[in-house]
């Protein structure tokens, strides 16, 4: 990448770099030497800090409320009035709206757009600040409330934490990490509103992405119909919970005692959804693994349409009208727990010798079979495991929306998951997690742009593929300094972000 | 079902099938040359249909010139996409290019929506002159027959180019051995450009014909379903083979029309169209994994 | 009792007879060679024995069992392991993982054990890892354990491939042109290497090779194939004197036979 940057860039940035880079290098070394646990504690403190004084500080900075999602939702708000449709509409008129002089109309629209654009960047009015203004204040907020406290706490606690990490056995430390993670997520995110919803979708997306990466990244096949298995899981689990525990229009009075619904009933329903998705996958696997290459793509694509169309025609479960009244049981703790479990299981699989057979199949299927790897069985198992988790994610998805219809599980949903997989990089679990987080946040942040959101996202994807075709973390994992094993020689690691 | 309805349905099926076939051809050619599933192809089809709106309303052109104009402009779009988005990835993993294609598709359809707005569009009422005057006699032509005829002519032109010209032969050769063709003095880049020109041109023609056949269907998302379906048709035909794409497209058209036509009297709702269609295609793939015209290539040990 | 016995093994590619009436017995502990001009069908024989191709006719008896039609991974598990003419390591995986995955046939835990991290899983993983490291140490490759296979120099990759084949704990090891692309000194090392495998691990070895020096030096018995037909069989001295063999090689690789 360095070779690509032109002379202009280097002439501007080199002098700056000369001053900044020693500081940056030193900071990176410090960050690398600080174990994750110290950062976690820093984040925990920052979250508490925000709850304690965040509102007051936001008020001081001129925000009406605490910036949403560290401000990333606020900074694109100024662009919500942008409308590009005037530019080309005169050239592609509808019959009842034919423009007499399309060119003139178009230029006029372009002019208006430019004005809105400039305004959006700089100043829109006394009650609607521009992009730069908001971004500046958001940065201040984030630095004061999050970055600085996190760094201070992390560095202060480093000796203490390192000592703890040396003393206790690994399993107990993993538990501590998980507990603190849960504390952070629940303390910060459980607001019963946007934060919770976005975090829930983030968790679901993580499950979807990691599970699809198993097939597309680790195994090197190309499955494009992940949403089909998601749909199976969503419908099976919803039908179960609605029939058993909820008084609704479709299935009538609950068949079982509703008090069993949480946690036992829901857990069983999610599991059953996963199993149903795996069974569906079994039917798909039969034709698609007979030949290699792009046939899995075509079969999964067709299956995506078939599942959607089949549900459309099942009047008993709502058909095209959808299924309404699914209990709202996927709260943050359920999603967090399921996400952690899913990632853990898939991580264990690909790190076992059995699971490394999956990667061997990607590298050279024939050689794998000849060297003793039961390729047929492993391909099948991998596909089933992947689909199982898609089904579980579907179950969670249904129980957060309360209303599902076949349109939720179309090819567009599958495309979204594919985008996340390749954004993060094939064959990388940490890459998938990061990509799911980034993508979910991006969707949320760009919401004010309306349809433009779906112009910006593909653009980002295309540019990313052109400059980094292997994705952000293709075929490698982000290494974090957990502290319980000797850190590698290269100080490659930093807290939450790892760079190339 | 009486004979007349049967004939009508037959024409409907032929019309729908030949449109699918035109789109499927683009998929299959690009796949044959680049081994790339060009998921943006459905949106190229949409773009062609929109250029038709531009030609008909803004330039006031009649049907045939609009068709040509759209084919040319869309072919340029095809080349641009290839040069900007796919060419830099020719040596990267095959899947990066496929994902880029998905991205380009999303960009085209949403970009079109963002730039032109959501007003419903269709071609002018007198756009398609359904009569031909020869001497004193005026011949009323059915829209469907003209569509089928145009599709057939385009297919024959393509078949001639691919089978009989040097470029076409190079195009077929490159799908067998991409290293040998440059040795024969034919530039790989040119063949790829030609492939995109032909594929996009046919898709544009299909787009306009589609807009003529199904009047209220012009929207930025019109290419989505058609594109996916044409892709499946191409695979069923045996991806990489243009006869296969044509046959696959026709087959899909017939299945879709006749599931509805034969199904409704016996209580099968028309909403089963996709279900039956795709299931049937899956069955074909199970029986013949390489498609109707596909040849299994022996994997070398 | 022979370890491997082929009876009239014949294979067609389409209408083309690639191997015809191939008969061979290999006794436990032998070191046997298979030679012949290019395209003689040598690799096809290996592919038939390892199950990559299914023999059109004939029987292949390994350890008293007919293995024709068994899937390759099962034949591998029964004790036939091989290397390839062109190196086919799992390139992106580390050397260690290459060796570990080659023990796939011996894995006894299942998914449940992995997901619950049960002792059965942990113990076996430890055993697999220990065995892999032992093999790597034995053949002086332990230093490269954590490197991706593709990063190793060519000669090392060849060795890793042989070690990978040995990791499955085979009774019979098939080496497909192990010396291809090696210089004389590397070939010298390879000969020692192959003999060490036999003496230290007690593995029966059957190899295809064009480097006559290697074949004539270390093989006790040699089969010569030409156009799929066995044209000679015997000890190195018999083969070198056999007129049919000299004829088959004349003009093709005569410089190697002399």
Chain centroid, CA C258 distance in Å: 26
Token pair in block for residue A414: 């599958």
Contact call for C73 and A359, based on CB within 8 A: no
Beta strands C31-35 and C57-62 are unpaired
Q: Which residue of B has its CA nearest to A423?
A: B99
Contact call for A370 and C50, based on CB within 8 A: yes
CA dist list (Å): C204 to A175, B9, C120: 50, 70, 32
Q: Which residue of A has its CA nearest to B57?
A: A93
Residue B296 covered by a domain: no
Residue B280 covered by a domain: no
Residue B45 covered by a domain: yes
**Is B56 buried (19+), middle (13-18) or exposed (0-12) by CB count in 10 A?**
buried
Same domain for A133 and A251, yes or no, is no
3-state percent helix, strand, coil for chain A, nearest multiple of 5: 75, 0, 25
Interface with C, mutate which of A351, A371, A474, A477 (most C CBs under 10 A):
A371
Residues contacting A283, CB < 8 A, separation 6+: none
Residue A486: the pLDDT is 45
Residue A88 covered by a domain: yes
Full residue range of the structural domain in which residue A132 is found: 16-183
Interface with C, mutate which of A372, A425, A470, A488 (most C CBs under 10 A):
A372
CA dist list (Å): A26 to A21, A33, B26: 8, 11, 55
Lowest mean pLDDT among A360-369, B55-64, B90-99, C91-100: B90-99
In angstroms, what separates the C-alpha of B117 from chain A's closest C-alpha? 5
Same domain for A217 and A178, yes or no, is no
Same domain for A170 and A284, yes or no, is no
Which residue in B204, B223, B203 sits closest to B109, CA to CA? Answer: B223
Residue B73: the pLDDT is 97
CA distance A206 to B238: 36
Which residue in A338, A433, A323, A326 sits closest to A393, CA to CA? Answer: A338
Residue A477 covered by a domain: no
Same domain for A289 and A178, yes or no, is no
Instruction: Tell me the CATH number at A449.
Output: 1.10.3470
Interface with A, mutate which of B28, B48, B110 (most A CBs under 10 A):
B110
Which residue in C173, C162, C171, C155 sits closest to C136, CA to CA? Answer: C162
Residue C98: the pLDDT is 96
CA distance C18 to C56: 10
CA distance A233 to A139: 41
Residue A465: the pLDDT is 86
Contact call for A469 and B93, based on CB within 8 A: yes
CB of C172 within 8 A of CB of C206?
Answer: yes
Same domain for A134 and A70, yes or no, is yes
Chain centroid, CA B102 distance in Å: 17
CA distance C188 to A26: 52
In angstroms, what separates the C-alpha of B299 from chain C's closest C-alpha? 11
Residue B270 covered by a domain: no
Residue B232 covered by a domain: no
Residue for token digits 């996202």?
A: A457
**Contact residues of C toward A, CB < 8 A:** 50-52, 71-73, 76-77, 81-82, 84, 88-93, 97, 100-105, 107, 109, 111, 114-115, 117, 121, 125, 128, 164-165, 168
Residue A288: the pLDDT is 72
CA dist list (Å): C145 to C95, C98, C127, C207: 5, 9, 16, 26
CB of B18 within 8 A of CB of B208?
Answer: no
Q: Which residues of A301-315 are buried (b: 16+ CB within 10 A; e: fewer)?
A: bbbbbbbbbbbbbee
In angstroms, what separates the C-alpha of C95 from chain B's closest C-alpha? 22
In angstroms, what separates the C-alpha of A313 from chain B's closest C-alpha? 7
Residue A1 covered by a domain: no
Residue A382 at interface with chain C, using a CB cutoff of 8 Å:
no
How much is the mean pLDDT over chain B?
85
Interface with A, mutate which of C99, C101, C103 (most A CBs under 10 A):
C101
Residue A478 covered by a domain: no
Region of B60 on the Ramachandran plot (φ > 0 left; ψ -120 to 50 alpha; else beta): left
Neighbours of chain C (3+ CB pairs under 8 A): A, B
Region of A30 on the Ramachandran plot (φ > 0 left; ψ -120 to 50 alpha; else beta): alpha
> Per residue in B188-224, pLDDT tens?
888 899 999 999 999 999 999 999 888 777 899 999 8
Question: What's the per-residue H, E or C state across B95-109?
Answer: HHHHHHHHHHHHHHH
Contact call for A371 and C76, based on CB within 8 A: yes
Residue A141: the pLDDT is 94
CB of A189 within 8 A of CB of A199?
Answer: yes
Same domain for A197 and A161, yes or no, is no
Residue A89 at interface with chain B, using a CB cutoff of 8 Å:
yes
| Residue B48 pLDDT greater than 90, yes or no | yes
Residue A62 covered by a domain: yes
Size of interface A-B (CB pairs under 8 A): 167
| Residue B133 pLDDT greater than 70, yes or no | no
Same domain for A152 and A262, yes or no, is no
In angstroms, what separates the C-alpha of A443 from chain B's closest C-alpha? 15
Using pLDDT thresholds of 50, 70 and 90, give the confidence band for residue B138. Answer: low
CB of B41 within 8 A of CB of B30?
Answer: yes
Which segments in chain A show pLDDT lower than 70?
Answer: 1-13, 290-293, 485-500
Residue B299 covered by a domain: no
Residue C71: the pLDDT is 95
Beta strands C204-208 and C221-226 are unpaired
Q: Which of A102, A305, A465 sits opposite B274 (nearest CB)?
A: A305
Helix H or strand E encompassing B41? helix B41-53
Residue A125 covered by a domain: yes
Q: Which residues of A188-222 are buried (b: 16+ CB within 10 A; e: fewer)?
A: bbeeeeebbbbbbbbbbbbbbbbbbbbbbbbbbbb
| Residue B258 pLDDT greater than 90, yes or no | no
Q: What angle do CA B286, B288, B291 make, to 5 degrees?
A: 115
Q: Which residue of C has its CA nearest to A375?
A: C73
Chain A window 333-372: which residues touch B at a Cβ cutoff of 8 Å? 366
CB of A199 within 8 A of CB of A444?
Answer: no
Q: What are φ and ψ of residue C13, in 5° steps?
A: -105, 110
Q: Which of B54, B103, B271 sits opposite A465 (nearest CB)?
A: B103
Same domain for A268 and A327, yes or no, is yes
Q: How many helices (H) and strands (E) does chain B have?
A: 11, 2
Same domain for A353 and A234, yes or no, is yes
Contact call for A419 and B99, based on CB within 8 A: yes
Token pair in block for residue C127: 């055993």
Q: Which of C77, C90, C121 sits opposite A359 (nearest CB)?
A: C90
Same domain for A38 and A163, yes or no, is yes
Lowest mean pLDDT among A320-324, B155-159, B184-188, C70-74: B184-188
Residue A92 covered by a domain: yes
Residues contacting A458, CB < 8 A, separation 6+: B102, B103, B104, B105, B106, B107, B110
Chain A window 252-281: which residues touch B at a Cβ cutoff of 8 Å? none
CA dist list (Å): B266 to B262, C185, C234: 7, 80, 76
Contact call for B282 and A299, based on CB within 8 A: yes
Domain count, chain B: 1
CA dist list (Å): C153 to B248, C147, C148, C158: 49, 11, 11, 9
Question: What's the per-residue H, E or C state across A366-431?
Answer: HHHHHCCCCHHHHHHHHHHHHHHHHHHHHHHHHHHHCEECHHHHCHHHHHHHHHHHHHHCCCCHHH
Which residue in C166, C172, C174, C144 sits closest to C157, CA to CA? Answer: C144
Chain centroid, CA C224 distance in Å: 17
Token pair in block for residue C8: 């009239």
Q: Which residue of C has its CA nearest to B299?
A: C52
Domain count, chain A: 2
Q: Which residue of C has its CA nearest to A365?
A: C90
Pick from A166, A183, A200: which residue ends a domain? A183
Residues in B touching C52 (Cβ below 8 Å):
301
Residues in C touching A372 (Cβ below 8 Å):
73, 76-77, 81, 102-105, 168
Give the residue with greater pLDDT, B281 vs C182. C182
In angstroms, what separates the C-alpha of A364 from chain B's closest C-alpha? 11
In angstroms, what separates the C-alpha of C7 from chain A's closest C-alpha? 22
Which residue in A368, A85, A45, A326 sits closest to A220, CA to CA? Answer: A368
Query: Coil, strand or helix: which one is A34?
Result: coil
CA distance A473 to A468: 9
Residues in B touching C47 (Cβ below 8 Å):
301
Same domain for A203 and A350, yes or no, is yes
Give the residue with greater pLDDT, A75 vs B136. A75
Residue B22 covered by a domain: yes
CA distance A454 to A456: 6
Residue A46: the pLDDT is 94
Which residue in B128, B131, B16, B2 sits closest to B62, CA to CA? Answer: B128
CB of B198 within 8 A of CB of B282?
Answer: no
Contact call for A371 and C100, based on CB within 8 A: no
Residue A3 covered by a domain: no
Residues contacting C12, CB < 8 A, separation 6+: C18, C56
Contact call for A359 and C92, based on CB within 8 A: yes
Residue B190 covered by a domain: yes
**Is B138 buried (19+), middle (13-18) or exposed (0-12) by CB count in 10 A?**
exposed
CB of A120 within 8 A of CB of A130?
Answer: yes
Chain centroid, CA C138 distance in Å: 19
Q: Which residue of C has its CA nearest to A357?
A: C101
Residue A463 at interface with chain B, using a CB cutoff of 8 Å:
no
Full residue range of the structural domain in which residue B103 is found: 14-220
Residue A174 at interface with chain C, using a CB cutoff of 8 Å:
no
In angstroms, what separates the C-alpha of A216 from chain B's closest C-alpha? 9
For the segment C94-106, the average pLDDT, to the nearest whole number, is 95
Residue B217 at interface with chain A, using a CB cutoff of 8 Å:
no
Q: Which residue of B has its CA nearest to C47?
A: B301
Lowest mean pLDDT among A405-409, A448-452, B84-88, B100-104: A448-452
Same domain for A196 and A159, yes or no, is no
Domains of chain C: 4-79+170-257 (3.40.50.300), 90-161 (no CATH)
Using pLDDT thresholds of 50, 70 and 90, give the confidence band for residue B32. Answer: confident
Residues in A touching C51 (Cβ below 8 Å):
370
Residues in A touching C73 (Cβ below 8 Å):
369-375
CB of C205 within 8 A of CB of C175?
Answer: yes
Size of interface B-C (CB pairs under 8 A): 4
In angstroms, what separates the C-alpha of A466 from chain B's closest C-alpha? 7
In angstroms, what separates the C-alpha of C219 from chain A's closest C-alpha? 24
CA dist list (Å): A93 to B119, B196, B216: 8, 28, 14
Residues contacting A386, CB < 8 A, separation 6+: A211, A212, A214, A215, A223, A226, A229, A281
Residues contacting B249, CB < 8 A, separation 6+: B17, B18, B19, B20, B21, B22, B23, B24, B25, B230, B233, B234, B237
Residue A485: the pLDDT is 56
Contact call for C101 and A355, based on CB within 8 A: no
Q: Which of A359, A370, A381 sits opposite C76 (nearest CB)?
A: A370
Return the percentage of chain B with pLDDT > 90, whole number. 40
Residues contacting C122, CB < 8 A, separation 6+: none
Which residue in C13, C62, C9 sits closest to C39, CA to CA? Answer: C13
CA distance B199 to A20: 51
Token pair in block for residue C128: 């697999």
Q: Which residue of A has its CA nearest to C75?
A: A372
């Amino acid at each position: 990448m360095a070779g690509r940057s032109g002379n202009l860039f280097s002439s501007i940035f080199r002098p700056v770099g000369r001053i900044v880079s020693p500081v940056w290098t030193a900071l990176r070394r410090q960050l690398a030497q600080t174990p994750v646990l110290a950062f976690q504690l820093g984040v925990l403190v920052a979250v508490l800090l925000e709850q304690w004084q965040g509102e007051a500080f936001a008020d001081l900075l001129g925000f009406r409320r605490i910036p949403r999602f560290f401000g990333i939702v606020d900074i694109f708000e100024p662009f919500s009035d942008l409308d590009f449709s005037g530019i080309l509409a005169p050239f592609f008129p509808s019959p009842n709206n034919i423009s007499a002089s399309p060119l003139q109309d178009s230029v006029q629209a372009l002019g208006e757009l430019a004005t809105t654009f400039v305004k959006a960047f700089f100043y829109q009015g006394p009650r609607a600040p521009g992009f730069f203004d908001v971004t500046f204040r958001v940065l201040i907020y984030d630095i004061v409330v999050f970055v600085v406290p996190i760094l201070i706490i992390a560095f202060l606690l480093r000796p203490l934490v390192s000592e703890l990490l040396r003393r206790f056995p690994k399993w107990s430390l993993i538990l501590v990490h998980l507990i603190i993670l849960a504390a952070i997520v629940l303390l910060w995110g459980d607001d019963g509103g946007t934060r919770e919803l976005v975090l829930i979708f983030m968790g679901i997306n993580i499950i979807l992405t990691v599970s699809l990466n198993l097939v597309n990244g680790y195994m090197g096949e190309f499955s494009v119909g992940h949403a089909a298995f998601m749909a199976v899981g969503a419908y099976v689990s919803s039908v179960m919970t609605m029939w058993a525990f909820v008084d609704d229009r479709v299935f009538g009075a609950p068949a079982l005692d509703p008090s069993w619904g949480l946690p036992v009933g829901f857990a069983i329903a999610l599991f059953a959804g996963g199993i149903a998705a795996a069974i569906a996958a079994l039917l798909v696997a039969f034709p698609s693994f007979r030949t290699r290459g792009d046939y899995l793509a075509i079969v999964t694509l067709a299956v995506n349409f078939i599942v959607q169309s089949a549900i459309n025609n099942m009047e008993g479960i709502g058909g095209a009208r959808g299924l309404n009244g699914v209990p709202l049981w996927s709260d943050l703790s359920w999603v967090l727990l399921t996400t952690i479990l899913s990632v853990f299981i898939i991580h264990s699989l690909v790190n076992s010798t059995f699971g490394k057979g999956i990667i061997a199949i990607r590298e050279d299927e024939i050689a794998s079979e000849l060297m003793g790897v039961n390729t047929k069985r492993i391909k099948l198992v991998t596909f089933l495991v992947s689909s199982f988790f898609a089904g579980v994610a579907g179950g969670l998805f249904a129980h957060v929306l309360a209303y599902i219809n076949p349109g939720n599980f179309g090819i567009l949903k599958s495309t979204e998951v594919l985008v996340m997989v390749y954004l993060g990089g094939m064959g990388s679990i940490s890459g998938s997690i990061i990509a799911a987080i980034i993508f979910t946040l991006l969707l949320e942040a760009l919401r004010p742009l309306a349809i433009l959101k779906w112009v910006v996202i593909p653009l980002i994807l295309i540019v990313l593929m052109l400059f980094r075709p292997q994705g952000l973390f293709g075929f490698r994992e982000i290494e974090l300094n957990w502290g319980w094993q000797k850190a590698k020689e290269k100080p490659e690691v930093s807290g939450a972000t790892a760079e190339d | 079902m009486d004979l007349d309805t049967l004939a009508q349905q037959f024409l409907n099926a032929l019309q729908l099938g030949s449109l699918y076939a035109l789109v499927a051809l683009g998929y299959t050619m690009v796949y044959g040359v680049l081994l790339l599933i060009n998921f943006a192809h459905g949106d190229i089809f949409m773009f062609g249909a929109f250029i038709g709106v531009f030609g008909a309303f803004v330039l006031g052109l009649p049907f045939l010139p609009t068709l040509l104009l759209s084919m040319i402009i869309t072919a340029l779009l095809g080349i641009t996409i290839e040069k900007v988005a796919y060419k830099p990835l020719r040596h990267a993993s095959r899947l990066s290019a496929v994902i880029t294609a998905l991205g380009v598709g999303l960009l085209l359809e949403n970009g079109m929506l963002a730039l032109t707005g959501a007003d419903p569009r269709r071609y002018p009422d007198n756009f398609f002159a359904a009569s031909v005057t020869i001497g004193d006699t005026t011949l009323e032509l059915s829209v469907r027959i003209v569509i089928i005829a145009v599709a057939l002519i385009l297919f024959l032109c393509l078949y001639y180019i691919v089978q009989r010209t040097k470029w076409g032969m190079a195009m077929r050769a490159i799908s067998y051995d991409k290293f040998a063709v440059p040795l024969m003095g034919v530039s790989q880049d040119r063949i790829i450009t030609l492939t995109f020109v032909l594929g996009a041109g046919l898709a544009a023609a299909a787009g306009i014909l589609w807009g003529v056949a199904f009047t209220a269907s012009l929207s930025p998302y019109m290419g989505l379903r058609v594109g996916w379906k044409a892709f499946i048709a191409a695979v069923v035909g045996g991806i990489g083979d243009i006869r296969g794409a044509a046959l696959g497209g026709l087959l899909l058209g017939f299945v879709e029309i006749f599931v509805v036509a034969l199904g409704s009297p016996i209580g099968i709702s028309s909403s089963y169209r996709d279900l039956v269609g795709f299931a049937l295609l899956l069955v074909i793939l199970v029986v013949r994994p390489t498609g109707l015209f596909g040849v299994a290539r022996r994997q070398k040990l | 009792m022979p370890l491997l016995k082929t009876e009239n093994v014949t294979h067609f590619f389409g209408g083309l007879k690639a191997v015809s009436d191939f008969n061979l017995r290999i006794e436990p502990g032998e070191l046997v060679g298979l030679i012949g001009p290019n395209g003689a069908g040598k690799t096809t024989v290996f592919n038939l024995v390892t199950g990559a191709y299914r023999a059109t006719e004939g029987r292949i008896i390994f350890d008293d069992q007919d293995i024709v039609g068994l899937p390759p991974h099962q034949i591998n598990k029964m004790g036939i392991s091989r290397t390839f003419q062109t190196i086919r390591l799992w390139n992106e995986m580390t050397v260690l993982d290459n060796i570990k995955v080659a023990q796939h046939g011996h894995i006894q835990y299942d998914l449940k054990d992995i997901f619950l991290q049960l002792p059965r899983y942990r113990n076996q993983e430890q055993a697999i890892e220990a065995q892999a490291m032992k093999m790597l140490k034995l053949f002086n490759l332990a230093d490269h354990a954590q490197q991706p296979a593709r990063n190793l120099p060519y000669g090392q990759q060849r060795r890793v491939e042989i070690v990978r084949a040995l990791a499955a704990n085979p009774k019979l090891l098939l080496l497909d042109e192990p010396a291809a692309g090696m210089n004389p000194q590397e070939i010298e090392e390879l000969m020692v290497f192959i003999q060490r495998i036999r003496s230290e691990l007690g593995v029966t070895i059957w190899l295809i090779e064009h480097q006559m020096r290697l074949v004539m030096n270390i093989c006790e018995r040699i089969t010569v194939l030409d156009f799929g037909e066995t044209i000679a069989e015997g000890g190195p001295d018999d083969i070198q004197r056999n007129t049919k063999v000299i004829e088959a090689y004349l003009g093709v690789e005569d410089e190697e036979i002399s």
